Amino acid sequence: MKTIDRTGTASVTLPSDTEILITREFDAPAELVFDVWTTPEHVRNWWGWESDPMTVCEIDLRVGGTWRFVSVNEGFGEVDFYGEYKEIDRPHRLVSSEIFAPYPDSPALNTMTLEERDGVTTMTLLVQYETQEARDATIASGMESGLQHSLDRIDAILAGEQGRAS
């Protein structure tokens, strides 16, 4: 049952030079969140934008199995992600590699964890790149912003500055 509007509550932090951490809570059991994350019929309903139809959504959910999500964006053309499942511990943990097709030499390792408490499931999605350059290049490419580098303690520094300013 939904009680709280959680729209826009996902947070992004940069725990280190090579990592991105995304955190979000859902009012649903971990089992259901895991299913919706790992079943093509479900993924098609939330992965892409309504304006960007998914042309490929393949999931072979076993260790060594592969996944591939392709959607078509008017501006960018084909947005093609693929990878391999490394570790599956339903419904708590899923580790997979991820390659963004234009950057085959910059794979990421994604670790998705789910923790359910009192009907609320907290999802963490840790994206780890091999180098800082790989992280920044891959992400900047999808952002149009062209920004290359980030700061691991950016949030702490900015929060500190804003705290002082106010």
Q: How far is the CB of 66 from another protein (least distance, A)?
A: 21
Asked if 6 interacts with another protein (CB under 8 A), we say yes
Q: Which two tokens mark 136?
A: 């920044």
Q: Which of 39, 40, 47, 61 binds another protein (CB under 8 A)?
A: 47
Q: Stretches 51-59, 69-77, 81-89, 141-149: which one binds another protein (CB under 8 A)?
A: 141-149
DSSP secondary structure, 26-42, as one string: ESS-HHHHHHHHH-HHH
Asked if 7 interacts with another protein (CB under 8 A), we say yes
- Quote the Cα angle for 94-15-100, to 5°: 55
Asked if 59 interacts with another protein (CB under 8 A), we say no
Q: Write phi, then psi, for 104 (nearest 5 degrees).
A: -65, -20
* Closer Cβ to another protein, 63 or 158, answer by number: 158
Q: Which of 19, 26, 82, 110 binds another protein (CB under 8 A)?
A: 26
Asked if 72 interacts with another protein (CB under 8 A), we say no
Asked if 157 interacts with another protein (CB under 8 A), we say yes
Asked if 104 interacts with another protein (CB under 8 A), we say no
SS3 127: strand
Would you say how long the chain is, in residues?
Answer: 166
Q: Contact at 8 Å (CB) between 78 and 72?
A: yes
Asked if 149 interacts with another protein (CB under 8 A), we say yes
* Closer Cβ to another protein, 12 or 63, answer by number: 12
**What CA dihedral angle connects 90, 96, 63 and 59, to 10 degrees?**
80
